[in-house]
Amino acid sequence: MTHCLLFDSDGTLVDSEAINNEALEDELRLHDIDEDKAALLARYRGWQFKPMLEDLGQLHCKTLGQEFESTFRARASEYFEERLEPIPNIHAALNDLPQAKCVASNAPMKKLCQVLAKTRLCGFFNDNLFSAYDISRWKPDPELFNHAARQMGFEATKCIVIEDSDVGVQAAISAGMKCVHYVPDGMISKFLENSGVLGITDMSELPAAVRKLELRR
């Protein structure tokens, strides 16, 4: 077990992206902002929440502040409890990966704990959870991954990041870490020209991808 695995959460461990953006669409509608959840997902996948709100506010000439974030997160939390599921085949993949594991996410710790508990994934990571909110550095800044690696006791070259978002893959590359890019829609990852990145379309492929990256220098 020479490597540490750093997992993103939303869209990588838990199938939360569509639900999250449905909650955002519904909350925006209360502020007379018409945005489609699919378009929101395509535009803002992996973004830090505050810059996303600022961008939406500029697009629609609205001010979306702390009160909006609080009511949105309450709505999203309710939706997660109703119907959040793990990413298909992630439990089996994690069971087949004996390496040290942690989660490094742009999400707040409260949300991170909720979604992992809801999808019965907590046992794979225990207390090895790292939120960008705790260090005030968000992907694509690589510091969240660097911080997680230090806390786990691994050098960057001995870390493999598992990500679904472009900003997350960019952060992994900037941190000097290898990366598995999960692209479930079947599109080819645009990062594959980087020798440290492997693309997969199903989590059943993850253990083999990790083993392949462990062999790369």
List per-residue pLDDT tens for the chain, 217 residues long. Answer: 579 999 999 999 999 988 999 999 999 999 999 999 999 988 988 788 889 999 999 999 998 888 999 999 999 999 999 999 999 999 999 999 999 999 999 999 999 999 999 999 999 999 999 999 999 999 999 999 999 999 999 999 999 999 999 999 999 999 999 999 999 987 778 888 777 899 999 999 999 999 999 998 7
Contact 10, 16 (CB under 8 A): yes
Domains and CATH numbers, the chain: 4-15+86-214 (3.40.50.1000), 17-83 (1.10.150)
Choosing from 8, 10, 15, 164, which is the catalytic residue? Answer: 8
Phi, psi at residue 145, to the nearest 5°? -70, -40
pLDDT reported for residue 188: 76
CB count within 10 Å of CB 85 equals: 13
216 alpha-carbon distance from chain centroid: 24
- Calculate the CA dihedral of residues 74, 47, 95, 135 and round it to 10 degrees: -80
pLDDT reported for residue 185: 81
Contact 20, 76 (CB under 8 A): yes
**In the annotation, is 8 catalytic?**
yes
Helix 17-29 to helix 66-83 angle, to the nearest 10 degrees? 130
